[in-house]
Structure 1
Amino acid sequence: MKNVRKIHLPIHFKDLLLMTVGVIMAGFALESFLVPNKFFDGGVSGISLLIHEIYHVPLPVVLVIANLPFIVMSSYVINKEFAVKMFVCVVLLGVCFAYFPYPKVIVDKPLVSVFGGFFLGVGIGLTIRAGSVLDGIEVLGMYTGKRSSFSVTEIVFAINVIIFLIAALKFGIQTSLYSMLTYFTASKTVDYVVEGIEEYTGVTIISSRSEIVKDKLVNELGRGITVYKGERGYLPGNFEVHNDTDIIFTVITRLEMRKLKNLLHDIDPNAFIFANTIKEASGGILRRRSRH
């Protein structure tokens, strides 16, 4: 039987496909959920929605114009390819608003805020996986962060606080609170879409039965391990007692965490374990992920 060759789509085509689907989803969230119910998001999208509601300027026009300075800025802060992709996303979003027949969803407000945030997060996450963004606020944060003592997160947070305060003053505290829920839901959804449900976790294990632990991690879980040489002991009241020990480090997915804990409990209930989330991991014995 002949080997069937796997067809690989060109990277730029896959990026365009992800960007298109992401923009359509984000447009659905904005036009079907947020705009009909006068809810807001953070960032440039939130500013655009505020201008649209207060001054009745067409939303596609506001979104494109508001993002243009950040598109130009991104060509210097990041690179020109990123700027081009961002420009394509913003223009596609404006086209979707103008020509896509999105239905208007006006239901229970908590449902609107949660599902509006969910669809918006999916859309934003897909564009990020394609190497772009739908909102220029992160670019502003990066640009400003290089020229001040504030981090990108602090700058973005401050801008979003101002957006939700204006929303509270103009449209009431209830609208502002629901908008914050929308933003929170969108942010968490973006994390899942970009990082994937199998987000990597780095686990450090210190056990008196380290040889058995190493064997189980490699031969049962199929994980690669790194072993550091250290010392354990130095306890209060018994400081002089200490001995050499192996410090084991491995990388697993969050879905494997419970299995690892059960395995370690069976081997050594007193084993010391701590874990940290890893944003990026490559090489070694890791499951291959699709490009993003």
Structure 2
Amino acid sequence: MNNYFVKLSIIVASSILLGFTFNVFLLPHEVLTGGVTGIAMIFGLLTPVNSGFWIIILNIPIIVLGWMKLGKEFIINSIISVAVTSVSMLYIPIVEVTGDALLSSVWGGVLTGVGIGLIIRFYSSTGGFDVVSLILIKKWDVPLGGMIFGLNSIVVLISGFFFGWELALYTMLSIYITGIVIDRIHTRHVKLNLMVVTSKGEEVRQAFLDNLVRGVTIIDGQGAYSREDKKVLYTVITRYELEVIRGVLQEIDPDAFVSIGQSMQVMGNFRRDD
């Protein structure tokens, strides 16, 4: 319960950060963020209706899609994030901190990336293209920031037609920086080679299969000095799953020898359901 409260607190704080960033850095210069939120910003600038309301309206069909593909907890967290961001945009005044559109674009991109990266890392999303991107990377396993940047290019084109191509280029810069920052925080696409040498091979094997969606290769080994029979378990995991592995090994065999290295590329079946 405490763990979920911490997670939810980070999601709420990050959502407030997004609302602040939109109203203080991006909207005063008509620089947009990406995806559905960017489209909501366009509607907010072109109509009397606040962008916060548009965020909720446009996210309804995508939230339904995410419920079917990504699970109930994820979507509940996402609804909370979207709601908090929307309310923040309603109550935080649109204030121009600096008259420099370029500076606002850079800082807006950085803070947006931090907010979205933390929200996604703690099993939530800001709705919109975040949900679509997360569904796609489950299939294609590509960097999330790059996927979001590609989808968000649509917003840049719309922005160019309505607000001029100079502002569209600022929007492109902001979205690009956001994608880079997201990939620094959301590191799920980073793969790690994991080798575990243990005298409790069967227990560790079962724990890996229970907690991961990875295949595991088991090799018979022997300690060169002790001559004790060992099991060598080899698999490839994501960086997020490393925390799961640490907990499993600490519980079952804290004396196991573990080697971890970053994998450049993975070919073949990475998931058990591939």
Same fold by TM (over 0.5)? yes
* Distance change in 2, residues 1:285/1:189 (3 Å): same
What is the match of residue 62 of structure 1?
A: 54
- Report which of the two has the higher share of helix: 2
C-alpha distance in 1 between matches for 2:101 and 2:24:
13
* Distance change in 2, residues 1:46/1:87 (3 Å): same
Cα deviations by residue, 1:147-201 (Å, 9 ceiling, x for unpaired):
9x9x9989856642322112111111100000000001111111222339xx777
1:71 aligned to 2:67?
no
1:88 aligned to 2:70?
no
C-alpha distance in 1 between matches for 2:115 and 2:130:
16
1:135-150 aligned at under 5 Å gives the runs: 135-141=127-133
Let me know the Cα RMSD of the aligned residues: 3.7
What is the match of residue 126 of structure 1?
A: 118
1:144-183 aligned at under 5 Å gives the runs: 159-183=151-175
C-alpha distance in 2 between matches for 1:190 and 1:10:
26
**Conserved 8 A contact 1:141-1:152:** no
C-alpha distance in 2 between matches for 1:164 and 1:281:
35
1:249-288 aligned at under 5 Å gives the runs: 280=240, 282=242, 283=245, 284-285=258-259
1:114 aligned to 2:88?
no
C-alpha distance in 1 between matches for 2:56 and 2:42:
14
Cα deviations by residue, 1:47-103 (Å, 9 ceiling, x for unpaired):
111111223421110011111211111110110111100001111112212234564
Alpha-carbon distance, 1:134 to partner: 0.8
> TM-score, normalization: structure 2?
0.64
C-alpha distance in 2 between matches for 1:281 and 1:20:
24
Q: Unaligned 5+ residue runs, structure 1?
A: 1-8, 203-277, 288-292
* Distance change in 2, residues 1:102/1:36 (3 Å): closer
**Conserved 8 A contact 1:14-1:130:** no
C-alpha distance in 2 between matches for 1:31 and 1:184:
19
C-alpha distance in 2 between matches for 1:68 and 1:61:
11
C-alpha distance in 1 between matches for 2:149 and 2:89:
27
The letter of the residue matching 2:60 is L
What is the match of residue 181 of structure 2?
A: 189
Report SS of the residue matched to 1:135.
coil
C-alpha distance in 2 between matches for 1:94 and 1:185:
22
C-alpha distance in 1 between matches for 2:14 and 2:134:
23
What is the match of residue 38 of structure 1?
A: 30
Max radius of gyration: which structure?
1
C-alpha distance in 2 between matches for 1:193 and 1:157:
15
C-alpha distance in 1 between matches for 2:93 and 2:162:
29
Cα deviations by residue, 1:27-62 (Å, 9 ceiling, x for unpaired):
111010111110012111111111112234211100
C-alpha distance in 2 between matches for 1:122 and 1:152:
16
C-alpha distance in 1 between matches for 2:191 and 2:99:
37
**Conserved 8 A contact 1:142-1:152:** no
The letter of the residue matching 1:32 is V
What percentage of residue pairs aligned between the two structures are identical?
A: 28
Aligned length: 206
**Conserved 8 A contact 2:44-2:54:** yes
C-alpha distance in 2 between matches for 1:152 and 1:200:
11
The letter of the residue matching 2:80 is V
Report SS of the residue matched to 1:39.
coil
Report SS of the residue matched to 1:75.
helix
> TM-score, normalization: structure 1?
0.60
What is the match of residue 233 of structure 2?
A: none
**Conserved 8 A contact 1:118-1:185:** yes
Report SS of the residue matched to 2:29.
coil
Q: Unaligned 5+ residue runs, structure 2?
A: 194-237, 246-257, 262-274
